[in-house]
């Protein structure tokens, strides 16, 4: 008699993990905190955070909500979260990416670090305020650069490109 095994996760099942996380963020939101965040992050017309939306979740709560999803949301899921107008969705994506970068650095996985670096650089415009840059750039880039033999040249090239960027958060 042949034993039944659990089916391998399908792409569509994996693709919903980021949606589940987004739903949890929405449910955990606090409208009063969200209203305060709109002012704090300067989201009015012409301000640097114009158009950002908030669920109203504190940083400690964000970390708690995201933790169970570590290792379960792939780069495509992070891309979808980064594409969200919700600040907390982008925060979650960057926390997940930061975790993956740390794991890849500890494992010495240069190809994974390279993929994370390319992904982060390609989506850096979605880290569109100081809060998102502060939680992601130092940790992700330190992990990415940690094992590089050509570290000084690579860091210099990256920092020069960021300094020349027309995007305020990138600079």
> Is residue 3 in a domain?
no
> Is residue 29 in a domain?
yes
> Is residue 7 in a domain?
no
The pLDDT value given to residue 140: 83
Q: Which of 1-5, 25-29, 90-94 comes out lowest in average pLDDT?
A: 1-5
Cα separation, 84 vs 7, in Å, equals 31
pLDDT band at 129 (very low <50, low <70, confident <90, very high): confident
Cα separation, 152 vs 100, in Å, equals 23
> Is residue 101 in a domain?
yes
Q: Cβ(118)–Cβ(141) under 8 Å?
A: no
> Is residue 67 in a domain?
yes
The pLDDT value given to residue 132: 86
The pLDDT value given to residue 158: 59
144 or 100: which leads in pLDDT: 100
Cα separation, 62 vs 159, in Å, equals 29
Using CA atoms, how far residue 43 sits from 10, 38, 64, 118, 124, in Å, is 38, 5, 26, 28, 19
Q: Cβ(98)–Cβ(117) under 8 Å?
A: no
DSSP 136: H
> Domains in the chain: how many in total?
1
Boundaries of domain holding 49: 15-163
Predicted TM-score (pTM) above 0.85: no
pLDDT band at 76 (very low <50, low <70, confident <90, very high): very high
> Is residue 171 in a domain?
no
pLDDT band at 60 (very low <50, low <70, confident <90, very high): very high
Q: Break the chain down into helix, strand, coil percent, rounded to 5.
A: 65, 0, 35
Q: Which of 54-68, 79-93, 125-139 comes out lowest in average pLDDT?
A: 125-139
Cβ burial of 59 (10 Å; 0-12, 13-18, 19+) is exposed
> Average pLDDT over the chain, rounded to whole?
80
> Is residue 120 in a domain?
yes
The pLDDT value given to residue 147: 65
């Amino acid at each position: 008699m042949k034993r039944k095994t659990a089916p391998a996760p399908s792409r569509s099942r994996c693709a919903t993990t980021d949606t589940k996380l987004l739903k949890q963020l929405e449910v955990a939101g606090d409208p009063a905190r969200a209203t305060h965040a709109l002012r704090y992050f300067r989201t009015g017309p012409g301000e640097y955070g114009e158009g950002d939306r908030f669920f109203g979740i504190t940083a400690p709560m964000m970390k708690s909500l995201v933790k169970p999803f570590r290792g379960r949301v792939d780069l495509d899921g992070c891309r979808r979260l980064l594409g969200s107008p919700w600040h907390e969705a982008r925060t979650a994506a960057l926390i997940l990416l930061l975790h993956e970068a740390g794991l890849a650095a500890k494992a010495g996985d240069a190809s994974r670090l390279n993929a994370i670096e390319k992904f982060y650089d390609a989506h850096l415009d979605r880290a569109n305020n100081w809060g998102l840059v502060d939680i992601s750039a130092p940790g992700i880039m330190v992990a990415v650069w940690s094992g590089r033999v050509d570290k000084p040249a690579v860091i210099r090239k990256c920092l020069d490109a960021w300094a020349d960027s027309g995007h305020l958060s990138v600079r």
